[in-house]
Protein backbone atom coordinates (compact mmCIF):
# COMPACT_ATOMS: atom_id res chain seq x y z
CA UNK A 1 0.00 0.00 0.00
CA UNK A 2 1.41 3.44 -0.86
CA UNK A 3 2.51 5.60 2.08
CA UNK A 4 -0.19 8.09 1.08
CA UNK A 5 -2.97 5.60 1.21
CA UNK A 6 -5.29 5.38 4.18
CA UNK A 7 -6.64 2.01 5.16
CA UNK A 8 -10.14 1.55 6.51
CA UNK A 9 -11.70 -1.43 8.15
CA UNK A 10 -15.27 -1.94 6.99
CA UNK A 11 -16.48 -0.57 10.33
CA UNK A 12 -14.48 2.61 9.88
CA UNK A 13 -15.65 2.82 6.34
CA UNK A 14 -19.22 2.59 7.53
CA UNK A 15 -18.64 5.44 9.97
CA UNK A 16 -16.92 7.51 7.31
CA UNK A 17 -19.69 7.16 4.84
CA UNK A 18 -22.57 7.04 7.33
CA UNK A 19 -24.00 4.16 5.31
CA UNK A 20 -24.40 0.50 5.93
CA UNK A 21 -21.62 -1.86 4.88
CA UNK A 22 -23.33 -3.27 1.86
CA UNK A 23 -24.37 0.23 0.84
CA UNK A 24 -20.77 1.39 1.17
CA UNK A 25 -19.48 -1.44 -0.95
CA UNK A 26 -22.15 -0.81 -3.53
CA UNK A 27 -21.28 2.89 -3.53
CA UNK A 28 -17.68 1.99 -4.06
CA UNK A 29 -18.59 -0.44 -6.77
CA UNK A 30 -17.29 -3.37 -4.73
CA UNK A 31 -19.64 -6.23 -4.12
CA UNK A 32 -17.25 -8.98 -3.08
CA UNK A 33 -17.00 -8.81 0.71
CA UNK A 34 -14.10 -11.25 0.79
CA UNK A 35 -11.68 -8.44 0.02
CA UNK A 36 -10.18 -5.72 2.11
CA UNK A 37 -11.16 -2.24 1.00
CA UNK A 38 -8.60 0.53 1.03
CA UNK A 39 -8.95 4.12 -0.10
CA UNK A 40 -6.05 6.24 -1.27
CA UNK A 41 -5.93 9.89 -0.31
CA UNK A 42 -7.82 10.87 -3.44
CA UNK A 43 -10.62 8.65 -2.21
CA UNK A 44 -10.14 6.04 -4.92
CA UNK A 45 -11.17 2.59 -3.74
CA UNK A 46 -9.08 -0.45 -4.37
CA UNK A 47 -9.47 -4.02 -3.31
CA UNK A 48 -6.76 -6.22 -1.86
CA UNK A 49 -7.12 -9.95 -1.50
CA UNK A 50 -7.08 -10.99 2.14
CA UNK A 51 -4.55 -13.43 3.52
CA UNK A 52 -5.47 -17.10 3.48
CA UNK A 53 -6.56 -17.41 7.07
CA UNK A 54 -9.37 -14.91 7.29
CA UNK A 55 -10.73 -16.05 10.63
CA UNK A 56 -9.76 -13.93 13.66
CA UNK A 57 -8.42 -10.93 11.80
CA UNK A 58 -9.06 -7.36 12.81
CA UNK A 59 -11.66 -6.57 10.16
CA UNK A 60 -15.41 -6.84 10.53
CA UNK A 61 -16.48 -10.34 9.56
CA UNK A 62 -20.02 -11.06 8.54
CA UNK A 63 -21.45 -14.49 9.20
CA UNK A 64 -21.60 -15.16 5.48
CA UNK A 65 -17.92 -14.56 5.15
CA UNK A 66 -17.07 -16.61 8.23
CA UNK A 67 -19.05 -19.60 6.99
CA UNK A 68 -17.37 -19.31 3.59
CA UNK A 69 -13.96 -19.19 5.25
CA UNK A 70 -14.81 -22.35 7.18
CA UNK A 71 -15.86 -24.03 3.94
CA UNK A 72 -12.39 -23.42 2.55
CA UNK A 73 -10.98 -25.68 5.30
CA UNK A 74 -12.84 -28.51 3.53
CA UNK A 75 -11.73 -28.55 -0.12
CA UNK A 76 -14.27 -31.29 -0.87
CA UNK A 77 -17.19 -29.08 0.23
CA UNK A 78 -19.87 -28.36 -2.34
CA UNK A 79 -21.16 -25.22 -0.62
CA UNK A 80 -24.49 -26.81 0.33
CA UNK A 81 -23.75 -26.69 4.08
CA UNK A 82 -22.43 -23.17 3.79
CA UNK A 83 -25.61 -22.03 2.13
CA UNK A 84 -27.80 -23.97 4.53
CA UNK A 85 -26.16 -22.25 7.50
CA UNK A 86 -26.67 -18.93 5.82
CA UNK A 87 -30.36 -19.75 5.19
CA UNK A 88 -30.71 -20.41 8.92
CA UNK A 89 -29.04 -17.08 9.72
CA UNK A 90 -31.58 -15.36 7.47
CA UNK A 91 -34.41 -17.21 9.26
CA UNK A 92 -32.92 -15.97 12.55
CA UNK A 93 -33.10 -12.39 11.34
CA UNK A 94 -36.73 -12.79 10.30
CA UNK A 95 -37.68 -14.41 13.62
CA UNK A 96 -35.72 -11.77 15.57
CA UNK A 97 -37.65 -8.97 13.88
CA UNK A 98 -40.91 -10.69 14.78
CA UNK A 99 -39.97 -11.38 18.42
CA UNK A 100 -39.57 -7.67 19.12
CA UNK A 101 -43.20 -7.18 18.03
CA UNK A 102 -44.59 -10.22 19.84
CA UNK A 103 -46.59 -8.23 22.38
CA UNK A 104 -48.08 -6.07 19.65
CA UNK A 105 -49.76 -8.85 17.71
CA UNK A 106 -52.93 -8.77 19.74
CA UNK A 107 -53.07 -4.96 19.95
CA UNK A 108 -52.63 -4.63 16.22
CA UNK A 109 -55.03 -7.44 15.49
CA UNK A 110 -58.70 -6.64 14.98
CA UNK A 111 -60.05 -9.55 16.97
CA UNK A 112 -56.91 -10.97 18.47
CA UNK A 113 -56.90 -13.58 15.74
CA UNK A 114 -56.51 -11.26 12.79
CA UNK A 115 -53.94 -8.55 12.23
CA UNK A 116 -54.50 -5.21 10.52
CA UNK A 117 -53.77 -6.69 7.11
CA UNK A 118 -56.56 -9.17 7.67
CA UNK A 119 -54.07 -12.01 8.04
CA UNK A 120 -54.32 -14.63 10.70
CA UNK A 121 -52.13 -13.73 13.71
CA UNK A 122 -49.83 -16.64 14.14
CA UNK A 123 -48.33 -17.70 17.44
CA UNK A 124 -44.64 -16.95 17.54
CA UNK A 125 -43.59 -20.59 17.75
CA UNK A 126 -45.66 -21.52 14.68
CA UNK A 127 -44.29 -18.48 12.90
CA UNK A 128 -40.70 -19.45 13.72
CA UNK A 129 -41.37 -23.02 12.61
CA UNK A 130 -42.86 -21.90 9.31
CA UNK A 131 -40.08 -19.38 8.69
CA UNK A 132 -37.32 -21.95 9.04
CA UNK A 133 -39.17 -24.46 6.90
CA UNK A 134 -39.98 -21.99 4.15
CA UNK A 135 -36.43 -20.68 3.98
CA UNK A 136 -34.84 -24.11 3.76
CA UNK A 137 -37.19 -26.61 2.11
CA UNK A 138 -36.89 -25.57 -1.55
CA UNK A 139 -33.15 -24.97 -1.88
CA UNK A 140 -31.99 -28.45 -2.86
CA UNK A 141 -29.74 -28.65 0.19
CA UNK A 142 -31.96 -30.81 2.38
CA UNK A 143 -33.47 -34.27 2.15
CA UNK A 144 -35.79 -33.62 5.08
CA UNK A 145 -36.63 -31.57 8.16
CA UNK A 146 -37.83 -32.39 11.64
CA UNK A 147 -39.15 -29.76 14.02
CA UNK A 148 -39.95 -29.97 17.70
CA UNK A 149 -43.29 -28.42 16.75
CA UNK A 150 -44.38 -31.30 14.52
CA UNK A 151 -45.00 -34.92 15.44
CA UNK A 152 -43.59 -36.30 12.17
CA UNK A 153 -40.51 -35.45 10.14
CA UNK A 154 -41.02 -33.87 6.74
CA UNK A 155 -39.32 -35.23 3.62
CA UNK A 156 -38.61 -32.47 1.10
CA UNK A 157 -41.68 -32.30 -1.16
CA UNK A 158 -41.39 -33.80 -4.64
CA UNK A 159 -41.68 -30.43 -6.33
CA UNK A 160 -38.31 -29.34 -4.90
CA UNK A 161 -34.77 -30.65 -5.53
CA UNK A 162 -33.30 -32.82 -2.77
CA UNK A 163 -29.97 -32.52 -1.00
CA UNK A 164 -27.85 -34.62 1.31
CA UNK A 165 -28.52 -32.87 4.64
CA UNK A 166 -31.14 -33.24 7.36
CA UNK A 167 -32.18 -30.27 9.49
CA UNK A 168 -33.63 -30.80 12.95
CA UNK A 169 -34.66 -27.78 14.97
CA UNK A 170 -36.48 -26.34 17.93
CA UNK A 171 -37.95 -23.22 16.33
CA UNK A 172 -38.74 -21.35 19.54
CA UNK A 173 -37.12 -22.62 22.68
CA UNK A 174 -38.57 -21.11 25.85
CA UNK A 175 -41.79 -20.15 24.13
CA UNK A 176 -43.61 -20.02 27.47
CA UNK A 177 -41.40 -16.99 28.23
CA UNK A 178 -42.66 -15.02 25.23
CA UNK A 179 -45.56 -13.42 27.07
CA UNK A 180 -43.25 -12.09 29.77
CA UNK A 181 -40.75 -10.28 27.58
CA UNK A 182 -38.01 -12.76 28.43
CA UNK A 183 -35.31 -14.21 26.18
CA UNK A 184 -36.10 -17.03 23.79
CA UNK A 185 -34.10 -18.96 21.22
CA UNK A 186 -33.89 -21.25 18.21
CA UNK A 187 -31.74 -24.41 18.19
CA UNK A 188 -30.66 -26.26 15.05
CA UNK A 189 -28.85 -29.49 14.25
CA UNK A 190 -27.58 -30.62 10.85
CA UNK A 191 -26.77 -34.22 9.94
CA UNK A 192 -25.82 -35.84 6.65
CA UNK A 193 -28.38 -38.36 5.50
CA UNK A 194 -27.22 -41.95 5.69
CA UNK A 195 -28.49 -43.07 2.28
CA UNK A 196 -27.31 -41.80 -1.06
CA UNK A 197 -30.78 -41.18 -2.49
CA UNK A 198 -34.45 -42.06 -2.31
CA UNK A 199 -37.02 -40.57 0.04
CA UNK A 200 -35.61 -39.96 3.49
CA UNK A 201 -36.74 -42.33 6.24
CA UNK A 202 -37.14 -42.02 10.00
CA UNK A 203 -34.01 -44.03 10.84
CA UNK A 204 -31.90 -41.44 9.02
CA UNK A 205 -33.05 -38.82 11.55
CA UNK A 206 -32.25 -41.10 14.48
CA UNK A 207 -28.51 -40.56 14.43
CA UNK A 208 -26.35 -40.13 17.54
CA UNK A 209 -25.12 -36.58 18.11
CA UNK A 210 -21.53 -37.56 17.35
CA UNK A 211 -22.60 -37.64 13.67
CA UNK A 212 -23.56 -33.97 13.74
CA UNK A 213 -22.10 -31.96 10.88
CA UNK A 214 -23.09 -28.60 12.34
CA UNK A 215 -25.16 -27.23 15.18
CA UNK A 216 -26.03 -23.88 16.62
CA UNK A 217 -28.54 -21.63 18.23
CA UNK A 218 -29.92 -18.15 17.90
CA UNK A 219 -30.53 -16.28 21.15
CA UNK A 220 -33.15 -13.54 21.00
CA UNK A 221 -32.28 -11.43 24.03
CA UNK A 222 -31.08 -7.91 24.64
CA UNK A 223 -29.44 -8.44 21.28
CA UNK A 224 -29.78 -11.29 18.81
CA UNK A 225 -26.85 -13.68 18.67
CA UNK A 226 -26.13 -16.67 16.48
CA UNK A 227 -23.64 -19.22 17.80
CA UNK A 228 -22.57 -22.18 15.69
CA UNK A 229 -20.02 -24.91 15.24
CA UNK A 230 -19.09 -27.15 12.34
CA UNK A 231 -16.59 -29.01 14.50
CA UNK A 232 -13.96 -26.31 14.17
CA UNK A 233 -14.55 -24.37 17.37
CA UNK A 234 -17.55 -22.33 18.44
CA UNK A 235 -18.16 -18.89 17.02
CA UNK A 236 -20.67 -16.25 18.02
CA UNK A 237 -22.17 -13.45 15.94
CA UNK A 238 -24.23 -10.49 17.06
CA UNK A 239 -26.92 -9.07 14.83
CA UNK A 240 -26.27 -5.42 14.10
CA UNK A 241 -29.79 -4.17 13.44
CA UNK A 242 -28.56 -1.03 11.68
CA UNK A 243 -26.74 -3.15 9.11
CA UNK A 244 -29.00 -6.19 9.19
CA UNK A 245 -26.01 -8.54 9.42
CA UNK A 246 -24.67 -10.98 11.97
CA UNK A 247 -21.12 -9.79 12.72
CA UNK A 248 -18.47 -11.92 14.39
CA UNK A 249 -18.36 -10.78 18.02
CA UNK A 250 -17.23 -13.92 19.89
CA UNK A 251 -14.61 -15.88 17.92
CA UNK A 252 -13.49 -19.26 19.20
CA UNK A 253 -15.55 -19.41 22.39
CA UNK A 254 -14.14 -21.52 25.23
CA UNK A 255 -16.06 -22.15 28.44
CA UNK A 256 -14.14 -20.25 31.14
CA UNK A 257 -13.03 -21.98 34.29
CA UNK A 258 -13.68 -21.99 37.20
CA UNK A 259 -17.44 -22.10 36.79
CA UNK A 260 -19.46 -19.16 38.15
CA UNK A 261 -23.04 -20.33 37.76
CA UNK A 262 -25.33 -23.28 38.07
CA UNK A 263 -28.69 -23.26 36.36
CA UNK A 264 -31.52 -25.57 37.31
CA UNK A 265 -35.18 -25.38 38.27
CA UNK A 266 -34.70 -25.83 42.04
CA UNK A 267 -38.45 -25.95 42.47
CA UNK A 268 -38.33 -29.65 41.60
CA UNK A 269 -35.58 -30.62 44.06
CA UNK A 270 -37.85 -32.95 46.05
CA UNK A 271 -38.56 -34.94 42.88
CA UNK A 272 -34.93 -35.71 42.06
CA UNK A 273 -32.91 -38.80 42.85
CA UNK A 274 -30.54 -38.74 45.83
CA UNK A 275 -27.52 -38.41 43.50
CA UNK A 276 -28.92 -35.29 41.85
CA UNK A 277 -29.89 -33.78 45.20
CA UNK A 278 -26.38 -34.49 46.48
CA UNK A 279 -24.95 -32.86 43.34
CA UNK A 280 -27.03 -29.75 43.99
CA UNK A 281 -25.69 -29.57 47.53
CA UNK A 282 -22.19 -29.94 46.12
CA UNK A 283 -22.75 -26.93 43.82
CA UNK A 284 -24.15 -24.96 46.76
CA UNK A 285 -20.91 -25.59 48.62
CA UNK A 286 -22.33 -27.94 51.22
CA UNK A 287 -20.47 -30.98 52.61
CA UNK A 288 -17.19 -30.81 50.75
CA UNK A 289 -18.63 -29.15 47.69
CA UNK A 290 -17.16 -26.40 45.57
CA UNK A 291 -17.16 -22.79 46.71
CA UNK A 292 -20.85 -21.99 46.34
CA UNK A 293 -21.80 -21.12 42.80
CA UNK A 294 -24.28 -18.43 41.95
CA UNK A 295 -27.71 -19.69 40.84
CA UNK A 296 -29.15 -18.31 37.58
CA UNK A 297 -32.18 -19.82 35.88
CA UNK A 298 -34.17 -18.22 33.10
CA UNK A 299 -36.17 -21.23 31.96
CA UNK A 300 -35.06 -20.85 28.35
CA UNK A 301 -32.41 -23.46 27.67
CA UNK A 302 -30.71 -21.37 24.98
CA UNK A 303 -30.30 -18.41 27.32
CA UNK A 304 -29.19 -20.45 30.31
CA UNK A 305 -26.73 -22.39 28.17
CA UNK A 306 -25.45 -19.24 26.46
CA UNK A 307 -24.69 -17.48 29.73
CA UNK A 308 -22.83 -20.48 31.08
CA UNK A 309 -20.93 -20.89 27.82
CA UNK A 310 -19.62 -17.33 28.07
CA UNK A 311 -19.24 -17.00 31.83
CA UNK A 312 -18.57 -20.59 32.94
CA UNK A 313 -21.11 -22.84 34.58
CA UNK A 314 -23.34 -25.87 34.38
CA UNK A 315 -26.99 -26.24 33.35
CA UNK A 316 -29.03 -29.28 34.26
CA UNK A 317 -32.52 -30.57 33.77
CA UNK A 318 -32.57 -33.92 35.54
CA UNK A 319 -34.93 -36.85 35.37
CA UNK A 320 -37.62 -36.49 38.02
CA UNK A 321 -40.59 -38.38 39.38
CA UNK A 322 -43.26 -35.72 38.88
CA UNK A 323 -44.89 -37.52 35.96
CA UNK A 324 -44.49 -41.28 35.57
CA UNK A 325 -45.16 -40.88 31.83
CA UNK A 326 -42.12 -38.53 31.49
CA UNK A 327 -39.38 -40.11 33.56
CA UNK A 328 -36.48 -38.57 31.62
CA UNK A 329 -37.09 -34.89 32.26
CA UNK A 330 -38.41 -32.38 29.78
CA UNK A 331 -35.71 -31.73 27.22
CA UNK A 332 -35.54 -33.37 23.79
CA UNK A 333 -32.46 -35.28 22.76
CA UNK A 334 -32.50 -34.45 19.06
CA UNK A 335 -33.70 -30.85 19.08
CA UNK A 336 -32.05 -29.53 22.24
CA UNK A 337 -29.57 -31.77 24.04
CA UNK A 338 -27.50 -33.12 21.12
CA UNK A 339 -26.88 -29.83 19.26
CA UNK A 340 -25.97 -28.00 22.46
CA UNK A 341 -23.77 -30.93 23.52
CA UNK A 342 -21.83 -30.59 20.26
CA UNK A 343 -21.31 -26.90 20.98
CA UNK A 344 -20.36 -27.56 24.61
CA UNK A 345 -17.72 -30.12 23.62
CA UNK A 346 -16.33 -27.84 20.92
CA UNK A 347 -15.99 -25.12 23.57
CA UNK A 348 -14.05 -27.41 25.92
CA UNK A 349 -17.05 -28.51 28.00
CA UNK A 350 -19.06 -31.70 28.32
CA UNK A 351 -22.65 -32.93 28.20
CA UNK A 352 -24.10 -36.03 29.79
CA UNK A 353 -27.43 -37.57 30.70
CA UNK A 354 -25.87 -38.37 34.09
CA UNK A 355 -24.69 -41.79 32.94
CA UNK A 356 -23.31 -41.36 29.46
CA UNK A 357 -22.12 -38.79 26.96
CA UNK A 358 -25.08 -37.11 25.23
CA UNK A 359 -23.39 -37.35 21.83
CA UNK A 360 -23.18 -41.16 22.16
CA UNK A 361 -26.87 -41.76 22.83
CA UNK A 362 -28.57 -43.66 20.03
CA UNK A 363 -32.00 -42.03 19.63
CA UNK A 364 -34.97 -44.36 19.43
CA UNK A 365 -37.64 -41.83 18.56
CA UNK A 366 -37.81 -38.37 17.09
CA UNK A 367 -39.12 -36.64 20.20
CA UNK A 368 -37.20 -38.66 22.77
CA UNK A 369 -36.49 -36.84 26.04
CA UNK A 370 -33.30 -37.02 28.04
CA UNK A 371 -31.92 -35.73 31.33
CA UNK A 372 -29.26 -33.15 30.53
CA UNK A 373 -26.17 -31.94 32.39
CA UNK A 374 -24.15 -29.56 30.25
CA UNK A 375 -21.36 -27.01 30.50
CA UNK A 376 -18.19 -27.07 32.58
CA UNK A 377 -16.44 -30.40 32.00
CA UNK A 378 -15.40 -31.00 35.63
CA UNK A 379 -18.85 -30.23 37.00
CA UNK A 380 -20.59 -32.51 34.49
CA UNK A 381 -18.18 -35.33 35.31
CA UNK A 382 -18.96 -34.75 39.00
CA UNK A 383 -22.66 -35.43 38.55
CA UNK A 384 -21.86 -38.69 36.75
CA UNK A 385 -19.80 -39.70 39.78
CA UNK A 386 -22.53 -38.82 42.29
CA UNK A 387 -25.23 -40.55 40.27
CA UNK A 388 -23.00 -43.64 40.09
CA UNK A 389 -22.43 -43.51 43.87
CA UNK A 390 -25.99 -42.83 44.97
CA UNK A 391 -28.41 -43.95 42.27
CA UNK A 392 -26.98 -47.02 40.56
The residue ranges that bind ligand AHG (CB under 6 A) are 173-176, 265, 299-301, 317, 330
Distance CA 112, CA 108 (A): 8
**Least distance to ligand AHG, CB of residue 209, Å:** 18
Nearer to ligand AHG, 10 or 172 (CB): 172
- d(CA 243, CA 21) in angstroms, rounded, equals 7
Omega of the bond prior to 258 within 30 degrees of 0, cis?
yes
Minimum separation from the CB atom of position 98 to ligand AHG (A): 16
Q: Give min distance, CB of 104 to ligand AHG, in A.
A: 21
Q: Give the residue among 1, 2, 36 at the shortest CA–CA distance from 21.
A: 36
301 or 361: CB nearest ligand AHG = 301
Q: Is 203 left (phi over 0), alpha (psi -120 to 50) or beta?
A: alpha
Question: For residues 73 and 326, which CB has a smaller minimum distance to ligand AHG in the complex?
Answer: 326
* Torsion angle of the four alpha carbons 249, 255, 258, 259, in this order, in degrees rounded to the nearest 10: 90
> Based on CB atoms, which residue is closest to ligand AHG, 4 or 325?
325
Q: Which one, 219 or 301, has the nearer CB to ligand AHG?
A: 301
Strands (E), 123-244: 142-147, 154-155, 165-173, 184-192, 214-220, 224-229, 234-240
User: Whole-number minimum distance, CB 324 to ligand AHG, in Å?
Assistant: 17
Residue 304 CB, nearest distance to ligand AHG (Å)? 6
Q: Which residues pair with 239 in a beta bridge?
A: 246
Shortest CB 172 distance to ligand AHG, Å:
7
Q: What is the DSSP string of 1-29?
A: --TT-EE--HHHHHHHHTS-HHHHHHHTT
Query: Smallest distance from the beta carbon of 185 to ligand AHG, in angstroms?
Result: 8
- Complex with ligand AHG: residue 68 or 374, whichever CB lies closer: 374
User: Distances from the Cα of 346 to the Cαs of 57, 214, 309, in angstroms?
Assistant: 21, 11, 11
Query: Closer to ligand AHG at the Cβ: 25 or 218?
Result: 218
For residue 75, how many other CB atoms are within 10 A of its CB?
6
Q: Using CA atoms in the order 231, 58, 224, 118, what is the torsion angle rounded to 10 degrees? A: -110
Amino acid sequence: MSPHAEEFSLGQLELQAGKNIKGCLALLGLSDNRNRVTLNIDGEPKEEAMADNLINHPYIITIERHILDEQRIHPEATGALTNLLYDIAVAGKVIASKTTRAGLAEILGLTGDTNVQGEQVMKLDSFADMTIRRLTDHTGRLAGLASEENAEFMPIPDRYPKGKYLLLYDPLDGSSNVDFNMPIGTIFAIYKRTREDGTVTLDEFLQPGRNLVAAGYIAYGTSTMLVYTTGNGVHGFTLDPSVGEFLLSHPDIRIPSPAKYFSVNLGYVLHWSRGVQRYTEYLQGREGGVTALSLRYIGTLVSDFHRNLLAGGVFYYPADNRDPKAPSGKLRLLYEAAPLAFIAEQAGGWASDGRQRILDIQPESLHQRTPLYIGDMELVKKVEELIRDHDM
